[in-house]
Amino acid sequence: MAPINIGIMGVGTVGKGTIEVLTKNQLEIQKKLGKALNIFMVACKNIENAKEVCPADTIITDDAFDIVQHPEIDIVVELIGGSTIARDLVLQAIENGKHVVTANKKLLAEYGNEIFAAAEANQVTVKFEAAVAGGIPIIKVLREGLAANNIQWIAGIINGTSNFILTQMKDKGEDFELALEQAQQLGYAEADPTFDVEGHDAGHKITIMAALAFGIPIDFSHCYLEGISHLQSKDIAYANELGYQVKLLGITKKTDEGIELRVHPTLIPEDRLIASVNGVMNAVYVNSDMLGKSLYYGAGAGSLPTASAVTADLIDLSRELINQVKYPVPHLSYLSSEVREQPFVSINEIRSSYYLRMAVRDQLGVLSELTKIFVKHDVSIEVMIQKSDFKEGIAEIIILTHSTIENNIKNVIAQMESLDAIVGSVTMIRMESFYK
């Protein structure tokens, strides 16, 4: 039986891993598929490097367009990354009638609507399990496993770099800069870590999941981003004392007002399973009407975990080709005719609880004045504690609030910072209980 020919574009970390999975587990794959997955051609700028990892009969080129144009290739695997040349290659492959597997969340978050429309018009399929949460099969869960459910919200630890840094800050009391340096030394963070630590990577992933969950077009422009570089280790320590863990979460919710789409540091009660996800591991927490809450945990990055997801997509696509499936699972879970725009909720209009920390001068009536500000802006205080005796006339006050509209808390902060008794700025971190 003729094999299914694959063209792999990019032989970086994930590309090498994909080649390793396809070669090492070839017999196991054939038992499940009934056909061989043949690495027919690979594109890599460094041909000598590619020769070291590819089977001897693989055609190697330094021009990825050779792959998308080759008539014998059935499935194109895009592992180049970015959203410039990758977009051109994917669209050309689709126009040439080739199916596509990609691990590129940035590409899909920015151009997914265009790519999926082109795929539908050309009657080909784009699969992207590896684009979100590495080896965790969350795309399949959302598109297939939870197809009978109405999903209310998704919250994910979906960037391993940030999660490693926050774990170091918690466990060792390190400042952000030192924890980042260790992440870079271990290869968990890039030389320029902005994409990870400022929330862009998590934002791309939660944007894709929101589209799958709620039947909306992919729209990264509405995703609120706030990273972890401004966090101090003492805030993480204070949160621990109060029974919370701090995680960078991607959150999307469907509310009566519209869709929430946001990435930011979040206090989570320590008894929630997702709060115990540490190091570079990822987890996605989903709440749906029939199943209730479910948690999906595993390696969110790395050569072999991500390659595992890429290969799973290759197997799924190959089964569809072998069985001549006419109506595969829609790209965004919903039929394209049912994907509709919905309003997005501004970050100022979300409802959350809040952690506030402020430095306060030792002045008579300060706490009374602070309390009046909260009452004025309709914010209820759950906990107010003084973290230390006044030293040099200044102490730190920690406040946890009950649920309120974010605009209210920002008004509270603005008025507090105008007081002479408040030294510097007020630190604010959002809180999520995940009770509902």
The predicted structure's pLDDT at residue 393: 81
- In this predicted structure, what is the pLDDT of residue 435? 74
Helix (H, G, I), strand (E, B) or coil at 295: strand
- Please tell me the predicted confidence (pLDDT) of residue 30: 94
**Choices 3.40.50.10320, 3.30.70.260, 3.40.1350.10, 3.40.50.720: CATH for 351-431:** 3.30.70.260
Residue 315 and residue 312: Cα distance in Å, rounded? 5
pLDDT band at 387 (very low <50, low <70, confident <90, very high): confident
* Whether 233 contacts 165, CB under 8 Å: no
Does residue 380 come out as left (phi exceeding 0), alpha (psi in the -120 to 50 range) or beta? beta
Chain-centroid distance of CA 90 in Å reads 22
Beta strands 351-361; 394-401: pairing state: antiparallel
Per-residue pLDDT band at 36 (split at 50, 70, 90): very high
Assign 3-class secondary structure to 322-344. HCCCCCCCCCCCCCHHHCCCCCE
Does the domain at 4-134+303-338 match CATH 1.25.40.10? Answer given as no
Indicate whether 403 pLDDT > 80. yes
pLDDT tens for each residue of 263-285: 999 999 999 999 999 999 999 99
Cα dihedral: 363, 365, 371, 373 (round 10): -80
For residue 68, give the amino acid letter: V
pLDDT of 390 strictly over 70: no
Question: Taking 70 as the threshold, does the pLDDT of residue 135 lie above it?
Answer: yes
User: What pairs with residue 395 in β-bridges?
Assistant: 360
Model confidence band, residue 434 (pLDDT cutoffs 50, 70, 90): confident
Decide if 380 contacts 401 (C-beta within 8 A).
yes
Give CA–CA dist 39/46, Å, rounded.
17
Task: Please give the pLDDT value at position 169.
Answer: 97
For 249, the token pair is 């979460």
pLDDT digits (tens, 9 = 90+) for 50-63: 999 999 999 999 99
Quick one: pLDDT at residue 391?
A: 66
Q: How does the average pLDDT of the chain come out, rounded? A: 95
**Alpha-carbon gap, residue 392 to 409, rounded angstroms:** 29
| Per-residue pLDDT tens over the stretch 415-425 | 999 999 999 99
pLDDT digits (tens, 9 = 90+) for 345-383: 999 999 999 999 999 988 888 889 999 999 999 999 999
Percentage, residues of the chain above pLDDT 70: 99
Active site (catalytic) residues: 205
Confidence of residue 45 (pLDDT cuts 50, 70, 90): very high
pTM of the model: 0.95
Query: What pLDDT does residue 307 have?
Result: 96
| Pairing, β 422-431 against β 4-9 | unpaired
Domain boundaries, the chain: 4-134+303-338, 138-299, 351-431
Check if CATH label 3.30.360.10 holds for domain 138-299.
yes
| Per-residue confidence (pLDDT) for residue 389, from 0 to 100 | 64
